[in-house]
Amino acid sequence: MSKFVINGGKKLAGEIKVNSSKNATVALVMASLINKGTTTLKNVPEIEEVSRMLEVIRSIGVKIKREERKLIITPPKKFNIKNIDTEAAKKTRGIILGIGALAGQVGRFEIPQAGGCRLGSRTVKPHLFALENFGINIKTTEDSYIVSAPKLKRAELILYETGDTVTENALIAAAQVNGRSEIRMASSNYMVQDLGFFLEKLGVKVTWTGSGIVEVTGKKNINKDVSYEISEDPIEAMFFLCLAITTDSNIKIKRCPIDFLELELLKLEKMGLKYKMSKKYKSNNNRTDLVDIEVLPSKLVALEEKIHAMPYPGINQDNLPFFVPIATKAEGRTLIHDWTYENRAIYFSLLNKLGAKVNLIDPHRVEVEGSSKLTGAEVVCPPALRPAAIILGAMLGAKGKSVLHNVYPIARGYERIEERLRRLGAEIERTE
Question: According to the model, what pLDDT value does residue 115 have?
Answer: 58
Q: At residue 57, does pLDDT exceed 60?
A: yes
3-state secondary structure of 333: strand
Q: At residue 83, does pLDDT exceed 60?
A: yes
Q: Are residues 222 and 253 in the same domain?
A: no
Q: Which residues of 230-257 are buried (b: 16+ CB within 10 A; e: fewer)?
A: bbbbbbbbbbbbbbbbbbbbbbbbbbbb
Q: Could you tell me which residues come within 8 angstroms of residue 233 by beta carbon, excluding any fewer than 6 positions away? A: 18, 19, 20, 21, 22, 23, 24, 45, 190, 257
Q: At residue 122, does pLDDT exceed 50?
A: no
Q: Are residues 244 and 285 in the same domain?
A: yes
> End-to-end alpha-carbon separation of the chain, Å?
6
Q: For residues 361 and 346, give the distance between their C-alpha atoms in angstroms, rounded to a whole number.
A: 9
Domain boundary residue among 229, 249, 284? 229
Mean pLDDT of 62-67: 95
CATH number at residue 225: 3.65.10.10
User: What's the domain range around 172?
Assistant: 22-229
User: Helix axis angle, 22-31 relative to 190-201, nearest 10°?
Assistant: 30
Mean pLDDT of 171-200: 97
Q: How confident is the model at residue 290 (pLDDT cuts 50, 70, 90)?
A: very high
Q: At residue 116, does pLDDT exceed 60?
A: no
Q: How confident is the model at residue 208 (pLDDT cuts 50, 70, 90)?
A: very high
Q: Could you tell me which residues come within 8 angstroms of residue 149 by beta carbon, excluding any fewer than 6 positions away? A: 103, 104, 106, 107, 108, 134, 135, 136, 137
pLDDT tens-digit readout, 341-352: 888 999 999 999
Q: At residue 121, does pLDDT exceed 50?
A: no
Q: Are residues 133 and 43 in the same domain?
A: yes
Question: According to the model, what pLDDT value does residue 342 have?
Answer: 80
Mean pLDDT of 278-306: 97
Domain boundary residue among 178, 211, 229? 229
Q: Are residues 167 and 249 in the same domain?
A: no
Q: Are residues 393 and 312 in the same domain?
A: yes
* Number of compact structural domains in the chain: 2
- The model's pTM is 0.95
Q: Which amino acid is it at 271?
A: M
Domain boundary residue among 229, 247, 271? 229
Q: Are residues 156 and 67 in the same domain?
A: yes
Q: At residue 117, does pLDDT exceed 50?
A: no
Q: How confident is the model at residue 118 (pLDDT cuts 50, 70, 90)?
A: very low
